[in-house]
């Protein structure tokens, strides 16, 4: 039963790894869209309005990608907990180090999302995004703390 759980954990972790790589590419694309919007002409009032609208949409796209990364980080950290709790004893510290890295990555992605949110004028979008970020960071932080606690119980003191 544990072996089956670990196989499923490995398979889902690999799928998440691919999704994170895809999100990294999407993040680059979102940044490119913002830079394109930034380069739009500003000659007339209509140009400025089009540019502003394009920049706002690009900022939203640039926020959604790292926000998704933060949300997925919680799931990945929970897989680390499964490994630390029930996996191969030789993988305990791998789970702990992975959890530490996941925690740092999720906080970094959250910062990237929040810096974009600071420039977005759509109040409801900003509020909902902040709510999602806070919930995802809480989930990740809780899982990371549990992994580290589990790992520490299995290491000599």
* Residue closest to 23 by CA, chosen among 59, 56, 64: 64
> How far apart are alpha carbons 25 and 95 in whole angstroms?
26
Q: For position 157, what pLDDT does the model report?
A: 84
CB atoms within 10 A of CB 53: 12
Q: How far, in Å, are 15, 32, 46, 58, 107 from residue 43 at the CA level? A: 47, 22, 8, 20, 39
End-to-end Cα distance, the chain? 31
pLDDT digit string (tens) for 93-104?
Answer: 999 999 999 999
The boundaries of the domain holding residue 84 are: 2-153
Task: Collect all residues with Cβ–Cβ distance below 8 Å to 80 and sequence separation of at least 6.
Answer: 95, 96, 98, 99, 102, 143, 144, 147
The tens place of each residue's pLDDT in the chain, 157 residues long, gives 999 999 999 999 999 999 999 999 999 999 999 999 999 999 999 999 999 999 999 999 999 999 999 999 999 999 999 999 999 999 999 999 999 999 999 999 999 999 999 999 999 999 999 999 999 999 999 999 999 999 999 999 8
Whether residue 126 contacts residue 67, with contact meaning beta carbons closer than 8 Å, is answered with no
Read off the CATH number of the domain in which 54 is found: 1.20.120.680
In the numeric block, which tokens belong to residue 54?
């394009």
Q: For position 4, what pLDDT does the model report?
A: 95
pLDDT digit string (tens) for 68-85?
Answer: 999 999 999 999 999 999
Number of domains in the chain: 1
């Amino acid at each position: 039963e544990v072996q089956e759980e670990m196989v499923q954990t490995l398979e889902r972790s690999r799928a998440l790894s691919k999704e994170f790589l895809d999100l990294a590419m999407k993040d680059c694309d979102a940044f490119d869209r913002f830079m394109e919007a930034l380069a739009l002409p500003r000659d007339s009032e209509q140009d400025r309005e089009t540019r502003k609208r394009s920049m706002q949409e690009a900022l939203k796209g640039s926020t959604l990608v790292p926000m998704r990364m933060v949300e997925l980080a919680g799931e990945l950290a929970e897989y680390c907990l499964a490994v630390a709790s029930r996996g191969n004893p030789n993988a305990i510290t791998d789970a702990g180090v992975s959890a530490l890295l996941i925690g740092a990555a999720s906080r970094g992605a959250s910062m990237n999302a929040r810096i974009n949110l600071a420039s977005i004028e759509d109040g409801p979008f900003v509020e909902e995004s902040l709510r999602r970020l806070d919930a995802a960071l809480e989930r990740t932080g809780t899982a990371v703390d549990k992994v580290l606690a589990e790992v520490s119980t299995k290491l000599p003191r």
